[in-house]
Amino acid sequence: NQGGYAMAILVTGGAGYTGSHICIELIKQGYEVAVVDNFLTSTSDTIEEIRKQTGKDVKLYAMDLGHKELVERIFNDNDIEGVIHFAGIKSTGAYKKNPIQYYYTNLASTLMLCEVMAEHNVKKIVFSSSEGFYGDNGSDTHSYGSAKLMIEKMLYEIYLADPEWSIEIIRYLTEEDHVYAKKNIKVEDICQVYIDAFKEIKKAEIKTYGMQIENSNINLTEVECFKGYKVQDLTLK
């Protein structure tokens, strides 16, 4: 391929709005891409659109991450370098109707993914989190935010137990899909934040960034892991 990358990046939730655009940008930059999605909130048409826009094939795994034997197949079939993790139920109504299934889907799938990653010695992950769990007093605001916070804590503890992991957590605040266009930000610019995070993350480190869109800028603030304390600001124009 054009960038000379022999290994693949696994994008979970790669048929979603942001996930699919990240796949397109990764392929354009020469990466091999594998996608896993259960199409709960997306369709397979998106994958065809990725193929159409890039002229490249995309390995698709239409499945749920909660089934270990299926997740293992992805890592057996591909030489995975790392993971950009978008998969999860985002609907605010889902956790009200069935909180057990909601938490299982969001938490267990991430645990299963990390377990298989560790078994295959793939210890590089960028996790798409949310700033939605921080209320006025730092309290969680709803179950979606709570699940994201729990996953952040799980990743942090995985790192503490095995510092060989390379983990980057990006929290972003968005009301709905396509909100970027309303704020004069291209989705490709958002995607590049995740891609740069994947490229630049160092071995044996964990970092967390808050990402907000303001005045046509993407503002990144480094914060302490699963806490709200600011470390430094990084503004991308």
Q: Which residues are catalytic?
A: 144
SS3 track for 210-231: EEEEECCEEEEEEECCCCCCEE
Structural contact between residues 80 and 34, judged by C-beta atoms closer than 8 angstroms: yes
Structural contact between residues 79 and 124, judged by C-beta atoms closer than 8 angstroms: no
**124-130/166-172 β-pairing:** parallel
Measured distance CA(125)–CA(115) in Å, rounded: 12
At a CB cut-off of 8 Å and minimum separation 6, what does 70 contact? 61, 63, 64
At a CB cut-off of 8 Å and minimum separation 6, what does 39 contact? 15, 62
| Torsion angle (degrees, nearest 10) of CA 208, 213, 218, 221 | -30
Q: Which residue's entry shows tokens 């590089």?
A: 124
Judged on CB neighbours under 10 Å (0-12, 13-18, 19+), 184 is exposed
At a CB cut-off of 8 Å and minimum separation 6, what does 27 contact? 33, 50, 54, 56, 58
